[in-house]
Structure 1
Amino acid sequence: MSQYQCPECGYRYDERHGEPHEGYAPGTTWEELPEDFTCPDCAVRVKADFVPVAET
């Protein structure tokens, strides 16, 4: 599972955890999120702006 980070505020979307408060269950992949997904923390950046986080 992957993580994607908002370049504005640093919020990370982690596919393992999803974003239940936004209606995305754990295991929801990045590709399954709608194209109009916006950062739940800052609401400034959209899905296309997020950057993949290298797995460690």
Structure 2
Amino acid sequence: MARYQCPDCSYVYDEVRGEAHEGFPPNTSWAQIPEDWACPDCAVRDKLDFIPLGSGEVGEKAGPLSSPGAER
């Protein structure tokens, strides 16, 4: 499973975690996210703007469902 980062606010969508507040349960793949979906943190960037990340990228900000202690 992959992760995708908003280039504007650095929010990260993690396929493993999903995004409950947006209605995406854990293990929701990026392909299942609607094309018109916008970043839930900044609402500035659309899905097509997100940058694919490898696992364990250093220095990224985590989304709201990330591990405890992650930067915001």
Please state which band the TM-score falls in when normalised by the shorter chain: over 0.9
> Identity, % of aligned pairs?
57
Whose radius of gyration is greater, 1 or 2?
2
- Give the AA of the match of 2:35: E
Instruction: Name stretches of at least 5 consecutive residues in structure 1 with no aligned partner.
Output: none
Q: Is 1:41 aligned with 2:41?
A: yes
Q: What TM-score, normalized by structure 1, do the two folds share?
A: 0.96
**Alpha-carbon distance, 1:47 to partner:** 0.3
3-state SS, counterpart of residue 31 of structure 1: helix
Length, aligned pairs only: 56
The alignment's C-alpha RMSD in Å is: 0.7
Q: Which has the higher contact order (CA 8 A, sep 6+)?
A: 1
Partner of 2:30: 30
CA distance in 1 between partners of 2:42 and 2:55 (Å): 24
The alpha-carbon deviation at position 51 of structure 1 amounts to 0.5
Task: Give unmatched runs, 5+ long, in structure 2.
Answer: 57-72
